[in-house]
């Protein structure tokens, strides 16, 4: 019997829940309101996060523009994290976990479907990494071994992907192009992605025969 491919979304939900439980800085994060999908390449990005609401969790802004509603199993999603090919190919478990922390760090402290205005790369510049790095180190010290193992996996996994991807926003009213207002699991499917994890480097110490694994 062929080996069943692991469900990466299950591991991702467990990781996000664990991060929220262990780090007070992420205590506002609710894993059940975040959709994670695999998507296309975007330069050297390993992941991106998309806000699915306007401030206060509203669908419409002051100008009348609307964001499509994304609802999975009856629950409205507030954010969509898209994992790019570089997340799957050639990343270590540490790098993959850091990518998730990176995207969660962008979420507003209100957790209302918007991004934190002060945690933009164009606002913080190099300070973004300086502020995130200590959080990554702290979490990796307490991250359960089974979660690290899930993200050190090499091989094919099942992961959600868009069958039809929602746009960022639209203007209500008559239009030549039909606009879908609500996206559900009907517009999603489990696709196959291959995770390629580099093997740990083996360094031989002078005067010994036993290799040291980094």
Tens digit of each residue's pLDDT (9 = 90 or more) over 3-35: 789 999 999 999 999 999 999 999 999 999 999
> Cα 190 from chain centroid?
16
**Among 70-79, 128-137, 186-195, 198-207, whose mean pLDDT is lowest?**
198-207
Cβ neighbourhood burial of 79 (10 Å; 0-12, 13-18, 19+): buried
Q: How long, in residues, is the chain?
A: 214
pLDDT of residue 203: 54
Quote the pTM value: 0.89
**Among 77-81, 130-134, 194-198, 209-213, whose mean pLDDT is lowest?**
209-213
The 10s digit of each residue's pLDDT in 92-150 is: 999 999 999 999 999 999 999 999 988 888 787 788 889 999 999 999 999 999 999 99
Phi, psi of 133 (to 5 degrees): -55, -45
* pLDDT band, residue 209 (cuts 50/70/90): low
Helix (H, G, I), strand (E, B) or coil at 111: coil
Which residues are CB-contacts of 12 (< 8 A; sequence separation ≥ 6)? 36, 100
pLDDT at 1 over 50: no
- Give dist(CA 190, CA 125) in Å, integer: 36
pLDDT at 161 over 60: yes
Q: What is the mean pLDDT of the chain?
A: 91
pLDDT of residue 176: 59
Q: Name beta bridge partners: 40.
A: none
Q: Which residue, among 82, 86, 15, has the nearest Cα to 48 in the 3D structure?
A: 82
- Region 148-165: mean pLDDT is 97
pLDDT of residue 208: 53
* pLDDT band, residue 202 (cuts 50/70/90): low
- Region 178-194: mean pLDDT is 95
Rounded to 5, what percent of the chain is helix, strand, coil?
Answer: 35, 25, 40
- Give dist(CA 163, CA 170) in Å, integer: 19
* pLDDT band, residue 2 (cuts 50/70/90): low
């Amino acid at each position: 019997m062929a080996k069943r491919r692991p469900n990466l979304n299950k591991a991702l939900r467990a990781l996000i829940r664990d991060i929220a439980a262990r780090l007070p800085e992420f205590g506002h994060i609710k894993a059940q309101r975040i959709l994670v999908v695999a998507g296309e390449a975007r330069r050297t990005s390993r992941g991106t996060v998309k806000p699915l609401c306007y401030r206060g969790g509203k669908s419409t802004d002051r100008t009348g523009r609307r964001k499509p509603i994304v609802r999975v199993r009856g629950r409205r999603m507030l954010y969509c994290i898209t994992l790019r090919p570089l997340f799957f190919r050639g990343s270590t478990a540490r790098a993959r976990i850091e990518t998730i922390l990176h995207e969660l760090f962008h979420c507003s402290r209100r957790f209302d479907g918007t991004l934190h205005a002060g945690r933009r790369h164009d606002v913080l510049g190099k300070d973004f990494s300086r502020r995130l790095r200590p959080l990554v180190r702290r979490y990796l010290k307490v991250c359960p071994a089974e979660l690290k193992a899930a993200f050190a996996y090499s091989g094919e996994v099942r992961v959600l992907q868009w069958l039809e991807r929602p746009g960022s926003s639209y203007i209500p009213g008559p239009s030549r192009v039909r606009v879908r207002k609500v996206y559900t699991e009907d517009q999603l499917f489990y696709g196959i992605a291959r995770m390629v994890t580099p093997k740990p480097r083996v360094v031989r110490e002078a005067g010994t025969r036993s290799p040291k694994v980094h």
